[in-house]
Chains A and B, each alone.
Chain A
Amino acid sequence: MLTEFGKVLIFIFLAIIFVALAFIVNRLIRPARPTREKVLTYECGENPIGSPWIKFNVRFYVVALIFLLFDVEITLLIPWALVYKEYGVYGFIVGFLFLFILMLGMLYEWRKGDLDWVKPEVKPKDLKTVMEEFEKEYGKI
């Protein structure tokens, strides 16, 4: 006997098989004539510059970490959202406490300035240095 999940599963398998089949058939009947341009990494038509391994800023990591924590919070709130009507005021208080404690973390982070995106400070150059650089590159004006 199939449960509802079983039907979904069959659907998923069919989807996977369909896509895989398309790829395999494609591979079998297509002509393969690689040239340098064809195998190059696609970067909007430009020639790729440098390695794709760039060091990410640590700030991204902190944001990702906080995203993870709130993601876990969401999964714990799913059961709450489903039944909180039945529990009335009690359910409201329970969920409120949970959310309040987590919002506190959010508030703390906000107040501490960890959500501010500190940009690297670019000082505008004054005219003299701009002129010097220009002369260096293209000779005296």
Chain B
Amino acid sequence: MTLEQITFIILALIGLTSALMLIIQKNPVYSVLLLILHFFALAGFYLLLNAQFIAVLQILVYAGAIMVLFVFVIMLLNLSNEEALKDPFNLRKIIASIFGVVLILQFGVFFFIKAKDDLNVTISPNSIEAGSIKKISEVLFSTYLIPFEVTSFILLVGIIAAIVLAKRKFE
């Protein structure tokens, strides 16, 4: 086994365990902390795939800013009474879980049998360079110039939306 494979297995274990613990956990604050761990494992995957910029972005935006939002929402909702949140397990959920299992099986069949050749790609040596911030910025300011500027509009609408929806004294 190469070092990459060992790293992958360790990261996969961390990622899967934290994701599983996250939904089993009763205390929502613990769930949030486990989600941060999960995001770090994901960032590790991106690094393995030579996507350094995405890895940094993952940690900055997800583990940083989005988690802050999560914590605030949890504190805002005041979830101290867990019993009140319990959902009974009814027929609808059973049907939904059957569909979910079928979907997962289908995906498994699809990815491991049908699309096996598509996924069997070797990482080319110059992909390290391709994932670098410099390469990304070169593409960002030539081909994807308009998408780059549109992003700022999306963020602007986000700010205005926050103000419109969270406003106390509209009049």
Contact = CB atoms under 8 A, between A and B. Distances in A.
A–B direct touch, CB within 8 Å, in complex? yes
Nearest to B57: A75
A59 to B, nearest CB: 8
A18 to B, nearest CB: 16
The range of chain A's interface size is: 35 or more
B60 A64 contact: no
Interface in A52-102: 53-56, 58, 60-62, 64-69, 71-76, 78-80, 82-83, 87, 90-91, 94, 97-99, 101-102
B159 A54 contact: no
A98 B166 CA distance: 25
A123 interface: no
A87 B56 CA distance: 24
Contacts of B52: 5
Given A9-B47, A60-B72, A75-B61, A66 B162 contact: yes
The range of chain B's interface size is: 35 or more
Interface in A1-28: 2-3, 5-6, 9, 13
A114 interface: yes
A78 B152 contact: no
Contact of B148 (A3, A51, A60, A76): A76
A64 B68 contact: yes
B78 A55 contact: yes
Contacts of B168: 58, 118
A135 interface: no
A67 B151 contact: no
Contacts of B72: 56, 60-61, 64
Interface of A: 2-3, 5-6, 9, 13, 51, 53-56, 58, 60-62, 64-69, 71-76, 78-80, 82-83, 87, 90-91, 94, 97-99, 101-102, 104-106, 108-109, 112, 114, 118
